Chain A
Amino acid sequence: MSKRTVIPFGPQHPVLPEPIHLDLVIEDETVVEAIPSIGYIHRGLEKLVDKNEWPEMVYVIERICGICSFGHGWGYCKTIEGNLGVSVPPRAEYLRTILHELGRMHSHLLWLGCLADGFGFESLFMHSWRLRETVLDLFEETTGGRVIFSICKVGGMRKDIPNEMLKKMEETLRGIEGELHELADVFLDDDTVKSRLVGVGVLTKEEAFELGAVGPMARASGVNNDVRLDGHGVYGEIGFEPCLEETGDSYARCKVRIREVFQSIDLIAKCVSMIPDGDVAIEIKGQNPAGEFVGRIEQPRGEAYYYSKGSGQKFLDRIRVRTPTNANVPPLVKILQGCELADVPILVLTIDPCISCTER
Protein backbone atom coordinates (compact mmCIF):
# COMPACT_ATOMS: atom_id res chain seq x y z
CA MET A 1 0.00 0.00 0.00
CA SER A 2 1.30 3.44 -0.87
CA LYS A 3 1.88 6.00 1.77
CA ARG A 4 -1.20 8.04 2.59
CA THR A 5 -1.01 11.79 2.70
CA VAL A 6 -3.60 14.34 3.76
CA ILE A 7 -3.87 17.36 1.48
CA PRO A 8 -5.98 20.32 2.60
CA PHE A 9 -8.20 21.67 -0.19
CA GLY A 10 -9.72 25.10 0.45
CA PRO A 11 -11.24 27.10 2.02
CA GLN A 12 -9.30 29.40 -0.33
CA HIS A 13 -8.87 27.88 -3.77
CA PRO A 14 -9.01 29.34 -7.30
CA VAL A 15 -12.12 27.36 -8.24
CA LEU A 16 -13.98 28.17 -5.04
CA PRO A 17 -16.02 31.36 -5.02
CA GLU A 18 -17.02 30.52 -1.46
CA PRO A 19 -15.16 28.79 1.36
CA ILE A 20 -15.42 25.05 1.81
CA HIS A 21 -12.61 22.91 3.13
CA LEU A 22 -11.84 19.31 2.27
CA ASP A 23 -9.28 17.08 3.90
CA LEU A 24 -8.21 14.84 1.03
CA VAL A 25 -6.59 11.58 2.03
CA ILE A 26 -4.58 10.49 -1.01
CA GLU A 27 -2.48 7.54 -2.08
CA ASP A 28 -0.16 8.57 -4.88
CA GLU A 29 -2.50 10.74 -6.97
CA THR A 30 -5.73 9.01 -6.00
CA VAL A 31 -8.16 10.33 -3.40
CA VAL A 32 -9.20 7.56 -1.03
CA GLU A 33 -11.24 9.69 1.35
CA ALA A 34 -12.54 13.23 1.56
CA ILE A 35 -13.76 14.86 4.75
CA PRO A 36 -15.73 18.08 4.18
CA SER A 37 -15.68 21.02 6.51
CA ILE A 38 -17.80 24.15 6.32
CA GLY A 39 -18.75 26.82 8.81
CA TYR A 40 -16.64 29.77 7.75
CA ILE A 41 -19.53 32.04 6.84
CA HIS A 42 -22.40 31.04 9.13
CA ARG A 43 -24.52 34.18 9.52
CA GLY A 44 -27.42 32.97 11.64
CA LEU A 45 -30.02 34.40 9.26
CA GLU A 46 -32.74 32.02 10.48
CA LYS A 47 -32.33 33.39 13.99
CA LEU A 48 -33.39 36.82 12.77
CA VAL A 49 -37.03 35.73 13.15
CA ASP A 50 -36.58 36.95 16.72
CA LYS A 51 -36.04 40.48 15.47
CA ASN A 52 -38.09 40.74 12.29
CA GLU A 53 -41.83 40.37 11.93
CA TRP A 54 -42.87 37.67 9.49
CA PRO A 55 -43.77 40.00 6.59
CA GLU A 56 -40.27 41.48 6.77
CA MET A 57 -38.44 38.17 6.96
CA VAL A 58 -38.79 37.71 3.20
CA TYR A 59 -36.08 40.35 2.77
CA VAL A 60 -33.77 38.39 5.04
CA ILE A 61 -34.47 35.02 3.47
CA GLU A 62 -33.92 36.21 -0.09
CA ARG A 63 -30.50 37.44 1.00
CA ILE A 64 -29.44 33.89 1.85
CA CYS A 65 -28.02 33.67 -1.65
CA GLY A 66 -27.18 36.12 -4.40
CA ILE A 67 -27.92 33.63 -7.18
CA CYS A 68 -31.18 31.95 -6.23
CA SER A 69 -32.48 34.88 -4.20
CA PHE A 70 -35.86 34.97 -5.93
CA GLY A 71 -36.37 31.28 -5.20
CA HIS A 72 -35.60 31.79 -1.54
CA GLY A 73 -38.10 34.63 -1.36
CA TRP A 74 -40.70 32.48 -3.08
CA GLY A 75 -40.01 29.50 -0.82
CA TYR A 76 -40.44 31.66 2.26
CA CYS A 77 -43.69 33.15 0.96
CA LYS A 78 -44.89 29.66 0.09
CA THR A 79 -44.40 28.32 3.61
CA ILE A 80 -46.04 31.36 5.22
CA GLU A 81 -48.95 31.26 2.75
CA GLY A 82 -49.38 27.56 3.54
CA ASN A 83 -49.22 28.34 7.23
CA LEU A 84 -51.89 31.03 6.87
CA GLY A 85 -53.96 28.91 4.51
CA VAL A 86 -54.14 31.53 1.77
CA SER A 87 -53.79 31.24 -2.00
CA VAL A 88 -52.23 33.83 -4.24
CA PRO A 89 -53.83 35.12 -7.47
CA PRO A 90 -53.08 33.10 -10.65
CA ARG A 91 -51.19 35.97 -12.27
CA ALA A 92 -48.83 36.11 -9.31
CA GLU A 93 -48.15 32.37 -9.63
CA TYR A 94 -47.28 32.87 -13.30
CA LEU A 95 -44.98 35.79 -12.53
CA ARG A 96 -43.27 33.79 -9.80
CA THR A 97 -42.71 30.87 -12.14
CA ILE A 98 -41.31 33.15 -14.86
CA LEU A 99 -38.86 34.86 -12.53
CA HIS A 100 -37.87 31.57 -10.95
CA GLU A 101 -37.04 30.04 -14.32
CA LEU A 102 -35.14 33.18 -15.24
CA GLY A 103 -33.20 32.66 -12.01
CA ARG A 104 -32.47 29.07 -13.06
CA MET A 105 -30.99 30.36 -16.33
CA HIS A 106 -28.91 32.86 -14.41
CA SER A 107 -27.65 30.19 -12.02
CA HIS A 108 -26.83 27.59 -14.68
CA LEU A 109 -25.07 30.08 -16.94
CA LEU A 110 -23.03 31.28 -14.01
CA TRP A 111 -22.17 27.68 -13.17
CA LEU A 112 -21.20 26.89 -16.77
CA GLY A 113 -18.83 29.84 -16.69
CA CYS A 114 -17.31 28.67 -13.40
CA LEU A 115 -16.89 25.16 -14.82
CA ALA A 116 -15.16 26.49 -17.93
CA ASP A 117 -12.92 28.58 -15.71
CA GLY A 118 -12.24 25.49 -13.60
CA PHE A 119 -10.73 23.60 -16.49
CA GLY A 120 -8.96 26.62 -17.90
CA PHE A 121 -11.20 27.49 -20.86
CA GLU A 122 -11.22 31.25 -20.32
CA SER A 123 -13.05 32.28 -23.48
CA LEU A 124 -15.83 29.80 -22.76
CA PHE A 125 -16.12 31.24 -19.27
CA MET A 126 -16.46 34.75 -20.69
CA HIS A 127 -19.07 33.73 -23.26
CA SER A 128 -21.14 32.01 -20.56
CA TRP A 129 -21.09 35.04 -18.34
CA ARG A 130 -21.75 37.40 -21.24
CA LEU A 131 -24.98 35.56 -21.95
CA ARG A 132 -25.77 35.55 -18.25
CA GLU A 133 -25.59 39.34 -18.37
CA THR A 134 -28.57 39.33 -20.72
CA VAL A 135 -30.56 37.49 -18.07
CA LEU A 136 -29.45 39.91 -15.38
CA ASP A 137 -30.48 42.81 -17.60
CA LEU A 138 -33.94 41.26 -17.90
CA PHE A 139 -34.14 41.03 -14.12
CA GLU A 140 -33.17 44.66 -13.82
CA GLU A 141 -35.67 45.74 -16.43
CA THR A 142 -38.59 43.84 -14.91
CA THR A 143 -37.92 43.99 -11.17
CA GLY A 144 -35.46 46.84 -10.72
CA GLY A 145 -32.77 44.62 -9.22
CA ARG A 146 -30.08 42.43 -10.70
CA VAL A 147 -29.42 40.18 -7.73
CA ILE A 148 -31.86 40.99 -4.93
CA PHE A 149 -35.34 41.75 -6.23
CA SER A 150 -37.69 42.16 -3.26
CA ILE A 151 -40.60 41.65 -5.61
CA CYS A 152 -42.07 38.57 -3.93
CA LYS A 153 -44.19 39.06 -0.84
CA VAL A 154 -46.48 36.94 1.24
CA GLY A 155 -49.78 36.97 -0.63
CA GLY A 156 -48.39 37.49 -4.11
CA MET A 157 -46.11 39.93 -5.85
CA ARG A 158 -45.18 43.42 -4.80
CA LYS A 159 -45.75 44.76 -8.31
CA ASP A 160 -46.99 43.57 -11.67
CA ILE A 161 -44.88 43.14 -14.77
CA PRO A 162 -46.74 44.40 -17.87
CA ASN A 163 -47.53 41.87 -20.59
CA GLU A 164 -45.56 43.90 -23.14
CA MET A 165 -42.49 43.62 -20.96
CA LEU A 166 -43.00 39.88 -20.60
CA LYS A 167 -43.25 39.50 -24.37
CA LYS A 168 -40.06 41.49 -24.75
CA MET A 169 -38.44 39.17 -22.23
CA GLU A 170 -39.42 36.16 -24.30
CA GLU A 171 -38.12 37.80 -27.48
CA THR A 172 -34.82 38.63 -25.81
CA LEU A 173 -34.41 35.05 -24.60
CA ARG A 174 -35.27 33.66 -28.02
CA GLY A 175 -32.73 36.10 -29.42
CA ILE A 176 -29.86 34.57 -27.44
CA GLU A 177 -30.99 30.99 -28.03
CA GLY A 178 -28.69 30.65 -31.05
CA GLU A 179 -25.68 31.75 -29.06
CA LEU A 180 -26.68 29.42 -26.26
CA HIS A 181 -26.70 26.53 -28.74
CA GLU A 182 -23.18 27.49 -29.84
CA LEU A 183 -22.13 27.52 -26.19
CA ALA A 184 -23.80 24.19 -25.55
CA ASP A 185 -22.05 22.64 -28.54
CA VAL A 186 -18.66 23.48 -27.06
CA PHE A 187 -19.55 22.12 -23.63
CA LEU A 188 -21.05 18.93 -25.01
CA ASP A 189 -18.94 18.19 -28.11
CA ASP A 190 -15.51 19.71 -27.62
CA ASP A 191 -12.87 17.03 -27.00
CA THR A 192 -10.91 19.07 -24.47
CA VAL A 193 -14.06 19.63 -22.42
CA LYS A 194 -15.25 16.04 -22.71
CA SER A 195 -11.86 14.72 -21.63
CA ARG A 196 -12.36 16.46 -18.28
CA LEU A 197 -15.98 15.47 -17.78
CA VAL A 198 -16.89 12.15 -19.39
CA GLY A 199 -16.68 9.25 -16.96
CA VAL A 200 -15.35 11.47 -14.17
CA GLY A 201 -17.02 11.35 -10.76
CA VAL A 202 -19.70 8.80 -11.51
CA LEU A 203 -22.60 8.67 -9.05
CA THR A 204 -24.90 5.75 -9.74
CA LYS A 205 -28.66 6.00 -9.45
CA GLU A 206 -28.63 3.85 -6.31
CA GLU A 207 -25.90 5.96 -4.72
CA ALA A 208 -27.68 9.19 -5.61
CA PHE A 209 -30.82 7.96 -3.84
CA GLU A 210 -28.99 6.45 -0.88
CA LEU A 211 -27.02 9.64 -0.27
CA GLY A 212 -29.98 11.98 -0.70
CA ALA A 213 -28.77 13.82 -3.82
CA VAL A 214 -31.07 16.52 -5.18
CA GLY A 215 -31.37 18.73 -8.23
CA PRO A 216 -29.20 18.30 -11.34
CA MET A 217 -26.87 16.13 -9.24
CA ALA A 218 -29.68 13.59 -8.78
CA ARG A 219 -31.23 14.00 -12.22
CA ALA A 220 -27.87 13.35 -13.92
CA SER A 221 -27.95 9.95 -12.23
CA GLY A 222 -31.51 9.25 -13.30
CA VAL A 223 -33.19 10.04 -9.98
CA ASN A 224 -36.43 11.83 -10.69
CA ASN A 225 -37.11 13.86 -7.55
CA ASP A 226 -37.74 17.23 -9.17
CA VAL A 227 -40.05 19.17 -6.87
CA ARG A 228 -41.64 20.94 -9.84
CA LEU A 229 -43.53 17.71 -10.45
CA ASP A 230 -45.83 18.56 -7.55
CA GLY A 231 -47.22 21.29 -9.77
CA HIS A 232 -46.42 24.23 -7.49
CA GLY A 233 -46.46 27.64 -9.08
CA VAL A 234 -47.95 26.92 -12.50
CA TYR A 235 -45.72 23.96 -13.40
CA GLY A 236 -48.78 21.74 -13.34
CA GLU A 237 -50.63 23.96 -15.83
CA ILE A 238 -47.88 24.68 -18.32
CA GLY A 239 -46.67 21.09 -18.52
CA PHE A 240 -43.30 20.14 -17.20
CA GLU A 241 -41.03 17.15 -17.71
CA PRO A 242 -37.70 16.91 -15.82
CA CYS A 243 -34.40 16.68 -17.71
CA LEU A 244 -32.93 13.31 -16.82
CA GLU A 245 -29.64 11.66 -17.74
CA GLU A 246 -28.43 8.21 -16.81
CA THR A 247 -24.63 8.13 -16.76
CA GLY A 248 -24.20 10.06 -13.49
CA ASP A 249 -20.81 11.53 -14.42
CA SER A 250 -19.66 15.13 -14.57
CA TYR A 251 -20.65 15.30 -18.23
CA ALA A 252 -24.21 14.24 -17.39
CA ARG A 253 -24.43 16.90 -14.68
CA CYS A 254 -23.26 19.50 -17.20
CA LYS A 255 -25.70 18.23 -19.80
CA VAL A 256 -28.68 18.37 -17.42
CA ARG A 257 -27.96 22.00 -16.62
CA ILE A 258 -27.53 22.92 -20.28
CA ARG A 259 -30.80 21.22 -21.19
CA GLU A 260 -32.48 23.07 -18.33
CA VAL A 261 -31.33 26.43 -19.68
CA PHE A 262 -33.24 25.76 -22.91
CA GLN A 263 -36.14 24.24 -20.99
CA SER A 264 -36.39 27.41 -18.90
CA ILE A 265 -36.78 29.50 -22.05
CA ASP A 266 -39.60 27.22 -23.20
CA LEU A 267 -41.29 27.33 -19.79
CA ILE A 268 -41.06 31.12 -19.70
CA ALA A 269 -42.51 31.30 -23.22
CA LYS A 270 -45.42 29.08 -22.17
CA CYS A 271 -46.06 31.24 -19.12
CA VAL A 272 -45.99 34.41 -21.21
CA SER A 273 -48.53 32.95 -23.64
CA MET A 274 -50.85 31.70 -20.89
CA ILE A 275 -50.58 34.34 -18.17
CA PRO A 276 -54.02 35.67 -17.19
CA ASP A 277 -54.81 39.27 -16.35
CA GLY A 278 -55.79 40.19 -12.84
CA ASP A 279 -54.47 41.09 -9.43
CA VAL A 280 -51.00 40.07 -8.39
CA ALA A 281 -51.54 40.01 -4.64
CA ILE A 282 -54.13 39.50 -1.98
CA GLU A 283 -54.33 41.59 1.14
CA ILE A 284 -53.47 39.83 4.37
CA LYS A 285 -54.56 41.76 7.42
CA GLY A 286 -54.98 40.75 11.03
CA GLN A 287 -53.58 37.28 10.49
CA ASN A 288 -50.45 35.80 11.93
CA PRO A 289 -49.06 32.32 11.25
CA ALA A 290 -50.32 30.06 14.02
CA GLY A 291 -49.32 26.61 12.83
CA GLU A 292 -46.52 24.95 10.96
CA PHE A 293 -45.95 24.22 7.32
CA VAL A 294 -43.21 22.85 5.11
CA GLY A 295 -42.93 24.40 1.67
CA ARG A 296 -40.68 23.02 -1.04
CA ILE A 297 -39.48 24.47 -4.29
CA GLU A 298 -36.99 23.34 -6.90
CA GLN A 299 -34.13 25.77 -6.76
CA PRO A 300 -31.58 25.79 -9.62
CA ARG A 301 -29.34 23.59 -7.47
CA GLY A 302 -32.14 21.31 -6.34
CA GLU A 303 -34.87 20.78 -3.81
CA ALA A 304 -35.11 23.31 -0.98
CA TYR A 305 -37.22 23.07 2.17
CA TYR A 306 -38.78 26.01 3.98
CA TYR A 307 -40.27 25.21 7.37
CA SER A 308 -42.18 27.82 9.34
CA LYS A 309 -43.69 27.57 12.79
CA GLY A 310 -45.73 30.32 14.36
CA SER A 311 -47.86 30.78 17.44
CA GLY A 312 -50.17 33.56 16.29
CA GLN A 313 -47.62 36.30 16.98
CA LYS A 314 -45.91 38.72 14.64
CA PHE A 315 -42.63 36.97 15.28
CA LEU A 316 -42.30 33.38 14.12
CA ASP A 317 -41.04 30.67 16.45
CA ARG A 318 -38.88 29.23 13.72
CA ILE A 319 -37.99 29.53 10.10
CA ARG A 320 -35.81 26.81 8.71
CA VAL A 321 -34.29 26.63 5.23
CA ARG A 322 -32.75 23.39 4.02
CA THR A 323 -30.85 24.30 0.90
CA PRO A 324 -29.78 21.97 -1.94
CA THR A 325 -26.06 22.06 -1.16
CA ASN A 326 -26.85 20.70 2.31
CA ALA A 327 -28.13 17.60 0.57
CA ASN A 328 -25.41 17.40 -2.06
CA VAL A 329 -22.39 17.42 0.26
CA PRO A 330 -22.65 13.68 1.08
CA PRO A 331 -22.81 12.74 -2.65
CA LEU A 332 -19.78 14.98 -3.23
CA VAL A 333 -17.83 13.00 -0.66
CA LYS A 334 -18.80 9.83 -2.51
CA ILE A 335 -17.72 10.98 -5.98
CA LEU A 336 -14.40 12.22 -4.63
CA GLN A 337 -13.50 8.76 -3.39
CA GLY A 338 -11.26 7.14 -5.98
CA CYS A 339 -10.90 10.19 -8.19
CA GLU A 340 -7.62 11.69 -9.38
CA LEU A 341 -6.34 14.62 -7.35
CA ALA A 342 -6.41 16.81 -10.48
CA ASP A 343 -10.14 16.17 -10.88
CA VAL A 344 -11.07 17.36 -7.38
CA PRO A 345 -11.74 21.01 -8.34
CA ILE A 346 -14.01 19.99 -11.24
CA LEU A 347 -15.89 17.49 -9.09
CA VAL A 348 -16.45 20.06 -6.37
CA LEU A 349 -17.81 22.40 -9.03
CA THR A 350 -20.14 19.80 -10.53
CA ILE A 351 -22.37 19.76 -7.44
CA ASP A 352 -22.69 23.54 -7.97
CA PRO A 353 -21.91 24.27 -4.33
CA CYS A 354 -23.42 27.31 -2.68
CA ILE A 355 -21.90 27.69 0.74
CA SER A 356 -23.82 30.86 1.56
CA CYS A 357 -27.00 28.83 1.16
CA THR A 358 -25.62 25.90 3.11
CA GLU A 359 -24.62 27.90 6.15
CA ARG A 360 -27.20 30.67 6.02
Chain B
Amino acid sequence: MTERKDLIQEFLLIEPGELLETALELRTAGYRLGQACATLLGDQLELLYSFEKDNVLRNEKLTVDAAAPELPSITPIYSYAFVYENEMHDLFGITFRNLSLDYGGAFYKIARETPWNPKFGGGEKAAAPSEDGVSSEAEGGEA
Protein backbone atom coordinates (compact mmCIF):
# COMPACT_ATOMS: atom_id res chain seq x y z
CA MET B 1 0.00 0.00 0.00
CA THR B 2 1.36 3.38 -1.01
CA GLU B 3 1.94 5.75 1.88
CA ARG B 4 -0.42 8.71 2.00
CA LYS B 5 0.77 12.20 2.84
CA ASP B 6 -1.24 15.38 3.19
CA LEU B 7 -0.10 18.24 1.00
CA ILE B 8 2.15 20.71 2.78
CA GLN B 9 2.68 24.01 1.06
CA GLU B 10 4.79 27.02 1.84
CA PHE B 11 5.42 30.34 0.10
CA LEU B 12 9.00 31.60 0.18
CA LEU B 13 10.24 34.96 -1.03
CA ILE B 14 13.50 34.97 -2.96
CA GLU B 15 15.48 37.59 -4.86
CA PRO B 16 15.59 37.35 -8.67
CA GLY B 17 19.32 36.73 -8.45
CA GLU B 18 18.67 33.62 -6.33
CA LEU B 19 16.34 31.96 -8.83
CA LEU B 20 18.83 29.73 -10.62
CA GLU B 21 20.58 28.76 -7.42
CA THR B 22 17.24 27.87 -5.78
CA ALA B 23 16.06 25.90 -8.81
CA LEU B 24 19.31 23.97 -8.95
CA GLU B 25 19.17 23.23 -5.24
CA LEU B 26 15.61 21.92 -5.52
CA ARG B 27 16.37 19.93 -8.64
CA THR B 28 19.27 18.28 -6.85
CA ALA B 29 16.99 17.52 -3.92
CA GLY B 30 14.58 15.70 -6.25
CA TYR B 31 11.85 18.30 -6.59
CA ARG B 32 9.96 18.57 -9.86
CA LEU B 33 8.61 21.80 -11.29
CA GLY B 34 4.84 21.86 -10.89
CA GLN B 35 4.03 25.18 -12.47
CA ALA B 36 5.23 28.73 -12.95
CA CYS B 37 3.13 31.82 -13.46
CA ALA B 38 3.15 35.61 -13.12
CA THR B 39 0.79 38.08 -11.50
CA LEU B 40 0.65 41.81 -12.17
CA LEU B 41 0.60 43.74 -8.90
CA GLY B 42 0.75 47.47 -9.57
CA ASP B 43 4.19 48.31 -10.94
CA GLN B 44 5.57 44.89 -10.11
CA LEU B 45 5.27 41.45 -11.57
CA GLU B 46 5.21 38.66 -9.05
CA LEU B 47 6.44 35.31 -10.32
CA LEU B 48 5.57 32.08 -8.61
CA TYR B 49 7.46 28.84 -9.18
CA SER B 50 5.91 25.76 -7.55
CA PHE B 51 8.19 22.81 -6.89
CA GLU B 52 6.83 19.53 -5.55
CA LYS B 53 8.30 16.47 -3.94
CA ASP B 54 6.42 13.84 -1.92
CA ASN B 55 3.44 16.16 -1.46
CA VAL B 56 5.61 19.00 -0.17
CA LEU B 57 4.94 22.06 -2.30
CA ARG B 58 7.53 24.82 -2.22
CA ASN B 59 6.26 27.98 -3.87
CA GLU B 60 9.16 30.32 -4.57
CA LYS B 61 8.07 33.92 -5.14
CA LEU B 62 10.03 36.78 -6.59
CA THR B 63 9.16 40.20 -7.94
CA VAL B 64 10.51 42.15 -10.89
CA ASP B 65 9.79 45.59 -12.32
CA ALA B 66 6.78 45.29 -14.64
CA ALA B 67 8.18 47.93 -16.98
CA ALA B 68 11.35 45.98 -17.82
CA PRO B 69 10.96 42.41 -16.61
CA GLU B 70 13.93 40.18 -17.30
CA LEU B 71 15.03 36.98 -15.64
CA PRO B 72 17.27 34.01 -16.30
CA SER B 73 15.49 31.00 -17.71
CA ILE B 74 15.42 27.87 -15.58
CA THR B 75 15.22 25.65 -18.68
CA PRO B 76 18.89 24.65 -18.31
CA ILE B 77 17.81 23.07 -14.99
CA TYR B 78 14.19 22.11 -15.71
CA SER B 79 13.99 21.63 -19.49
CA TYR B 80 10.20 21.49 -19.48
CA ALA B 81 9.91 24.99 -18.00
CA PHE B 82 9.89 26.31 -21.57
CA VAL B 83 6.10 25.92 -21.63
CA TYR B 84 5.61 28.25 -18.66
CA GLU B 85 8.32 30.74 -19.58
CA ASN B 86 7.07 31.19 -23.13
CA GLU B 87 3.59 31.69 -21.75
CA MET B 88 4.80 34.36 -19.32
CA HIS B 89 6.71 36.03 -22.12
CA ASP B 90 3.68 36.21 -24.38
CA LEU B 91 1.19 37.32 -21.73
CA PHE B 92 3.32 39.52 -19.48
CA GLY B 93 6.28 40.51 -21.63
CA ILE B 94 8.89 38.89 -19.40
CA THR B 95 12.19 38.24 -21.14
CA PHE B 96 13.90 35.01 -20.16
CA ARG B 97 17.62 34.80 -20.86
CA ASN B 98 18.96 31.49 -22.20
CA LEU B 99 15.50 30.07 -22.84
CA SER B 100 16.14 26.69 -24.46
CA LEU B 101 13.10 26.72 -26.74
CA ASP B 102 12.14 30.31 -27.46
CA TYR B 103 9.02 30.83 -29.55
CA GLY B 104 9.81 34.53 -29.90
CA GLY B 105 6.34 35.68 -28.89
CA ALA B 106 4.47 33.16 -31.04
CA PHE B 107 3.66 30.61 -28.34
CA TYR B 108 0.15 32.03 -28.11
CA LYS B 109 -1.23 33.40 -31.34
CA ILE B 110 -3.00 36.37 -29.80
CA ALA B 111 -3.89 39.77 -31.15
CA ARG B 112 -2.16 41.89 -28.53
CA GLU B 113 1.39 42.16 -27.33
CA THR B 114 1.64 41.24 -23.63
CA PRO B 115 -2.11 41.63 -23.01
CA TRP B 116 -1.80 41.02 -19.27
CA ASN B 117 0.84 43.67 -18.72
CA PRO B 118 -0.45 46.91 -20.24
CA LYS B 119 2.41 48.92 -18.77
CA PHE B 120 4.79 46.98 -20.94
CA GLY B 121 3.24 47.20 -24.36
CA GLY B 122 -0.29 45.88 -24.20
CA GLY B 123 -0.88 47.18 -27.71
CA GLU B 124 -1.90 45.41 -30.84
CA LYS B 125 0.55 43.13 -32.52
CA ALA B 126 1.91 44.34 -35.83
CA ALA B 127 0.31 41.41 -37.57
CA ALA B 128 -1.14 41.26 -41.04
CA PRO B 129 -4.83 42.19 -41.15
CA SER B 130 -7.21 39.28 -41.14
CA GLU B 131 -8.71 38.13 -44.41
CA ASP B 132 -12.29 39.06 -43.55
CA GLY B 133 -11.25 42.62 -42.87
CA VAL B 134 -12.13 42.53 -39.16
CA SER B 135 -9.63 44.55 -37.16
CA SER B 136 -7.46 42.83 -34.58
CA GLU B 137 -9.00 45.13 -31.95
CA ALA B 138 -12.43 43.68 -32.64
CA GLU B 139 -11.13 40.14 -32.91
CA GLY B 140 -9.01 39.95 -29.86
CA GLY B 141 -9.32 43.16 -27.93
CA GLU B 142 -10.03 41.34 -24.70
CA ALA B 143 -7.26 38.84 -25.29
A residues with a Cβ closer than 8 A to B are 35, 37-40, 42, 44, 47, 209-212, 224-225, 229-232, 236, 241-242, 292-294, 296, 303, 305, 307, 309, 317-318, 320, 322, 326-327, 329-330, 359
Contacts and interface: CB of A to CB of B under 8 A. Distances in A.
A317 B108 contact: no
Interface string B13-48: 000000000000000000011110101010000001
A327 to B, nearest CB: 7
Interface in B31-80: 32-35, 37, 39, 41, 48, 50, 55, 57, 59, 78-80
A30 B2 CA distance: 40
Nearest to A236: B4
Contact of A322 (B1, B32, B37, B142): B37
Given A39-B106, A230-B5, A292-B11, A212 B32 contact: yes
A222 to B, nearest CB: 13
Contacts of A330: 79-80, 82-83
A42 B110 contact: yes
Interface string B67-107: 00000000000111011100000100000000001010011
Nearest to B11: A292
Contacts of A231: 4, 6
Contacts of B57: 294, 296
A296 B1 contact: no
B111 to A, nearest CB: 10
A241 B55 CA distance: 16
Contact of B2 (A229, A293, A305, A318): A229
B1 A317 contact: no
A37 B103 contact: yes
